[in-house]
Structure 1
Amino acid sequence: MSIQWFPGHMHLTRKAIAERIKDIDVVIELLDARLPGSSSNPLLAGLTGHKPTLKVLNKQDLADPARTPAWLAWYAAQADTGAIALDASDGAPARRLIEGCRQLAPLRKGLSRPMRVLICGIPNVGKSTLINTLSRKSQAKTGDEAGVTKQEQRIVLADDFYLWDTPGMLWPKIIVPESGERLAASGAVGRNAYDEELVALQLLAYLQQHYGAQLLERYKLDLSLEALQALPDDELLEHIARKRGAVMSGGRLNLQKASELVLTDFRGGAIGRITLETPEEFAVWLAAGQAQEAERRARRQERERARPGRGGRGR
């Protein structure tokens, strides 16, 4: 299933980042701790050049605590990169962000050399909520829909620390299908870009194998763990529909409603603390996606060369 979503205001965000970055010392990329690889924007590397980057795994209270350290280590091992995890309960997020940025750019300090930081992230990653916490007032609009923030904002975290907030931005082409599915499941993609039932089925297929006990508990399913893991994902969705009363007249199951329930439960943490990928899994998916994209480009170039008048076989 291919999921793509890049509305017009995201083009403007890309241009704004490219213009702002020349005056920036450190880039903060806010990631979803439940999908730390899939929520990292590949566009940023090209836009920000070699600027030091602090990867912030947000919503860690919703993520699997056994998997978050692996992701922090994975990002921290990259050049000019730091990594921390945050959630809404963190009592001093400003201090932690400032400390993380100071470690990446230790010479930027004092009124004569203030720290200038750009914070970026995909839609619905919790950036607006974090900005409101940092500024201690509702400077940024929040919501559970992708694409709420559409204007750049500046926040002063300290006398010598300036933070520029940008609207949430995805990238024009998601080449890793698994990433598209996870972005949709998390709510980072607009609803018109995907089929909720298909996304819910993909989510359930992963949860069956990695978080089966949580599914059994949440939906009170009369199955053993082994039976759950062997069940086709569409049959599992039907079980959930019956348990949650998603039944229409005549006894027909309302799979659309059941799908919405599953996605809402995941996004709100009702199923449990879940991370939908490990660094190793994501690396495999990314390599496969890059290989397929390279093949598509090669075929397209071959077709271009074969067109009449272009010096190819068609001449």
Structure 2
Amino acid sequence: MTIQWFPGHMHKARLEMEALLPKVHLVIEVLDARIPYSSENPLLAEIRGDKPCLKILSKSDLADDSMTELWLDYFGRSANMRAHAVTTEDVPTIRRIKHLAIRMLPERENKQINAMIMGIPNVGKSTIINFLAGKKVAKTGNTPAVTKSQQRVNIGDGITLYDTPGMMWPNVHNPNSGYRLALLGSIKETAMDYAEIGFFAARFMLDYYPKQLTERYDLDEVPASELETIEAIGRKRGCLGKSSVVDIDRASRILVTELRQGVFGLLTLESPEIMEKEKAETAAAVAAKNESAATRDARRKQKFVAKQKAKRESRERR
């Protein structure tokens, strides 16, 4: 599945971020703890350059604790970067963000700190801002792209937060990342196909959490395929149409919705090891696509030159 969802306000947000960045001392990027790699916007890395960066793994209460520790360690090994996991069920984890920001900028001791907070849609950025400010200053919601414009928020301790709209990037080249983003609600529903996402979710559960899958839907055995999984869920939940045929779309929506809600327990959909593997595969696929495009352009150019040459020779013979 190819994800292409980049509304006009997101392009505007990027331009505003780039204009504001010279005034910013620290970039805070909010990620979904269940998909730290897929929710990391490559455009944001490009925009912030070498600015100090604090990665916030939100919704960590829905993620596998052991995997979250792996990700914190992974990000912590990068220069000029720190990582911190938070949950709205434990407000002190959010308030500690201020202390971490101050510690990352010892040269700004007793001076004003300007921090830009970034993140893709629906990672909980606005909720975090509201807790840091101690009041509701940012709109929140379960649908992506709630925040539409930039705002400045004083969160105390000499820190000013520049809130930015949740921003996707024009093309998600890694298909697995596209599925994960859609599965966890970072893509607007009109830009995705529930059946496709349902099949991806089914394959993930079969590969990594088969016991939780069978227990949740009271299945006698682990299904052999994604389609069998969706059909089994559909029969258990009464998603039947004419002639008792399972409605794949309805059954897929049930699986996707329940996985988003965390009813299967603590799940993380990717690891640093998976990330490195998929990064390499994606880079190779993009390079091959670019090479193919370059070859097609070269052939078109040769064809055009040959055609022009033939026309000249034809005129000269007259």
Q: Answer with 1 or 2: which has the greater Rg.
A: 2
Unmatched tracts of structure 1, length 5 or more: none
Note the 1:84-233 alignment, pairs <5 A.
84-110=84-110, 113-223=111-221, 227-228=222-223, 231-233=224-226
C-alpha distance in structure 2 between counterparts of 1:51 and 1:202, whole Å: 36
**Equivalent residue letter for 1:285:** E
Which structure dedicates a bigger proportion of its chain to helix?
Answer: 2
C-alpha distance in structure 2 between counterparts of 1:161 and 1:256, whole Å: 47
Aligned residue pairs: how many?
308
Q: Deviations over 1:41-73 (max 9, x none)?
A: 101121111001111110000001121100111
Q: CA 1:101 to 1:8, structure 2 compared with 1: closer, same or farther past 3 Å?
A: same
Q: 1:4 Cα shift?
A: 2.0
Q: 1:200 Cα shift?
A: 1.1
**Equivalent residue letter for 1:173:** N
Q: 1:82 Cα shift?
A: 0.2
Partner SS, residue 291 of structure 1:
helix
Does the aligned pair in 1 maintain the 2:116–2:163 contact within 8 Å? yes
Does the aligned pair in 1 maintain the 2:94–2:132 contact within 8 Å? yes
Does the aligned pair in 1 maintain the 2:88–2:94 contact within 8 Å? no
Note the 1:270-289 alignment, pairs <5 A.
270-289=263-282
C-alpha distance in structure 2 between counterparts of 1:217 and 1:199, whole Å: 21
Q: Determine whether 1:263 maps to 2:256.
A: yes
Structure 2 partner of 1:3: 3
C-alpha distance in structure 1 between counterparts of 2:63 and 2:290, whole Å: 36
Q: Deviations over 1:198-254 (max 9, x none)?
A: 11111110111111111122212121xxx44xx111111110111122223442212
Partner SS, residue 121 of structure 2:
coil
Q: 1:313 Cα shift?
A: 7.2
C-alpha distance in structure 2 between counterparts of 1:15 and 1:257, whole Å: 40
Unmatched tracts of structure 2, length 5 or more: 309-318
Q: CA 1:107 to 1:254, structure 2 compared with 1: closer, same or farther past 3 Å?
A: same
TM-score by length of 1: 0.93
Does the aligned pair in 2 maintain the 1:307–1:313 contact within 8 Å? no
Q: 1:8 Cα shift?
A: 1.1
Partner SS, residue 70 of structure 2:
helix
Q: 1:298 Cα shift?
A: 2.0
- State the percentage of identical aligned residues: 39
Q: Deviations over 1:12-62 (max 9, x none)?
A: 111111111111111111000000100001011211110011111100000
RMSD: 1.8
Partner SS, residue 214 of structure 1:
helix
C-alpha distance in structure 2 between counterparts of 1:310 and 1:80, whole Å: 51
C-alpha distance in structure 2 between counterparts of 1:68 and 1:138, whole Å: 28
Q: 1:311 Cα shift?
A: 9.1
Does the aligned pair in 2 maintain the 1:306–1:312 contact within 8 Å? no
Structure 1 partner of 2:28: 28
**Equivalent residue letter for 2:239:** A
- Return the match for 2:240 from 242, 247, 264: 247
C-alpha distance in structure 1 between counterparts of 2:306 and 2:97, whole Å: 58
Q: CA 1:302 to 1:249, structure 2 compared with 1: closer, same or farther past 3 Å?
A: closer
Structure 2 partner of 1:44: 44
Q: Deviations over 1:234-287 (max 9, x none)?
A: 111110111122223442212211111111111111121110011101111111
C-alpha distance in structure 2 between counterparts of 1:167 and 1:117, whole Å: 15
Does the aligned pair in 2 maintain the 1:93–1:134 contact within 8 Å? no
Does the aligned pair in 2 maintain the 1:185–1:267 contact within 8 Å? yes
Q: CA 1:200 to 1:19, structure 2 compared with 1: closer, same or farther past 3 Å?
A: same
Q: 1:135 Cα shift?
A: 2.0
